[in-house]
A and B are shown apart, each in its own frame.
Chain A
Amino acid sequence: MTMNWQWEVFLQDPGGKYPTYWQWMLSAWGWTVSVSALSLFLALAIGSLIGILRTLPDNPWAVRFGNAWVELFRNIPLLVQIFLWYHVIPAMIPSMKAVPGFILVVLALGFFTSARIAEQVRAGIQALPRGQRYAGMALGFTTPQYYRYVILPMAYRIIIPPLTSEAMNIFKNSSVAFAVSIAELTMFAMQAQEETSRGIEIYLAVTALYAVSAFAINRIMAFIEKRSRVPGFIVAGGVGGGH
């Protein structure tokens, strides 16, 4: 099969905001990176909080709330959650109408991923020997203190490998934002494919950008893991999964 490439398609003028397709694509990549990065921060914050709630001793309601949170956000497809944030919530809460779509997608992706991160934080905390908690208590630490100084520093180190795959997942999942017309990479791919009918070149470039981004995250997390390693403490990885 012969294939005549037309990579010069990226130099054409899409006749809109951007002078060429490749500049449009870079801007779309920027949107993908922004959506992913903001969602990741949100997911880490909420996921940590919920994950910690689920391990609090003598606090059954906190545990129940945490479990309900995880079940709620894990059992509804991401695309449906994005539609809920984008169509349903602004209709029900009028003050949400002023919020731009970009923020709504960040909220959707962040909350969706928070459930998965909460699961990993919980697993990480529970993977630690019980003695660590008791040692903190015996030293007279309050609950926030022994979480802060004893449990969490080790728990986060344990869950770096699953957090890495979650960070890569968030990048891939940000592609679902195309459904509410966020100008990210997948949206670009669909529109540019339609306009130029050079789908293969466009898709190849977009796919390469996704792959490069995933690889970059993988390397950054490997670097963090290496720098934060505690000598003599062998971490056991491999909690969680999915995509």
Chain B
Amino acid sequence: MNLNLDLSFYSWDLISKFVLKGFYFSVILTVTATLGGIFFGTILALMRLSGRKILEIPAMIYVNGMRSVPLVMVILWFFLLVPFLIGRSIGAEWSATITFIAFEAAYFSEIMRAGIQSIPRGQVFAGQALGMTYGQNMKLVVLPQAFRNMLPVLLTQTIILFQDTSLVYAIGAYDMLKGFETAGKNYGRPIESYLLAAIVYFIICFALSSVVKRLHKKIAIIR
């Protein structure tokens, strides 16, 4: 082993100048994509469970299409297509945000579908017997229970999403990894910089997944 790392390179200066900006973007992208993905994912899941071919088939094509293409390719597609469709450039960060919402909607919709299907039929019938409309039944009976059942899976997907935000590298958006990379280049210390990036990602993701595990146990006991 030939270890001559310069650890004095790790300083608050480095973090505040280069990494924080990227970290904020990674977090904002994760939160936006999670919320947007859950919103559109729920719509897609309801379309697939609607029993009407005209809604089911487009949703199925969308979800399976997104899931069979690498995220990097989807990022590149949107970066190419969005300016083409709206006629002006919107920048890598906005393009990444739109991409992640559209991409994660497909994954979240599968989680939603499984969650909704985990609710016993009797619950739906009970809602109908009370005279609820489809919308009321979904909103008041099915979705609240479904959300609770799938909360651990949703949060795990969010951690994966946080890791995946590093792929905006493909279009040069400034996320946390880019922050570390830029710092490494500026100080001429790329190796220490990549190492620190790995450690920071690990700490964040490990802490979050431990929380999810604990939550999972808690929910499992109550049920």
A interface vs B, CB < 8 Å? 71-72, 74-81, 83-84, 87-88, 91-94, 168, 172-176, 178-179, 186, 189-190, 193, 199-200, 203, 206-207, 210-211, 214-215, 241-243
Contacts and interface: CB of A to CB of B under 8 A. Distances in A.
A79 B194 contact: no
A189 B167 contact: no
B156 A242 contact: yes
A87 B107 CA distance: 32
Interface of B: 1-3, 65, 67-73, 76-77, 80-81, 84, 107, 153, 156-157, 160, 163-164, 166-167, 169-170, 177, 190-191, 194-195, 197-198, 201-202, 205-206, 209
B154 to A, nearest CB: 11
Contacts of B69: 172, 207, 210-211
Contacts of A242: 156-157, 160
Nearest to A79: B166
Nearest to B81: A200
Nearest to A86: B194
A76 B203 CA distance: 9
Given A80-B194, A87-B190, A186-B76, A92 B3 contact: yes
B155 to A, nearest CB: 12
B201 A190 contact: no
A186 B157 contact: no
A77 B201 contact: yes
Nearest to A241: B153
Contacts of A214: 68
A210 B66 CA distance: 11
Contact of B202 (A76, A92, A176, A210): A76
19 contacts: A75-B201, A77-B163, A79-B167, A79-B177, A87-B194, A91-B2, A92-B1, A93-B2, A175-B72, A176-B167, A179-B170, A189-B76, A203-B77, A207-B73, A210-B70, A211-B69, A242-B156, A243-B67, A243-B160
Contacts of B206: 71, 75
Contact of B107 (A75, A81, A203, A243): A243
Contacts of A176: 70, 72, 167
A88 B76 contact: no
Contacts of B209: 71, 74-75
Contact of B170 (A172, A178, A243): A178
Contacts of B77: 203, 207
A188 to B, nearest CB: 11
Contact of B166 (A77, A168, A178): A77
B173 to A, nearest CB: 13
Given A80-B166, A80-B177, A93-B1, A173 B198 contact: no
Contacts of B195: 84, 88
